[in-house]
Amino acid sequence: MVDTAQALDVLELATAVLNRNFELLRRRTDAYQELDKSEYLLLRTLDQTGPADVSTLAGALGLDPSTVGRQVTGMQGRDLVTKIHDTADRRRCIIAPTEQGLELMALTRQRRLAISAELLGDWTPDELHTFAELLTRHNDAVAARYLKA
pLDDT for position 1: 67
Q: What is the pLDDT of residues 27-36, one digit of tens each?
A: 999 988 999 9
Instruction: Answer whether residue 21 shows pLDDT above 80.
Output: yes
**CA 127/CA 54 separation, integer angstroms:** 37
Q: Tens digit of pLDDT for each residue in 53-94?
A: 999 999 999 999 999 999 999 999 999 999 998 788 778 899
Q: What is the pLDDT of residue 2?
A: 73
Handedness of CA 39, 56, 12, 133 (dihedral sign): negative
Residues contacting residue 38 through CB under 8 Å, at least 6 positions apart: 71
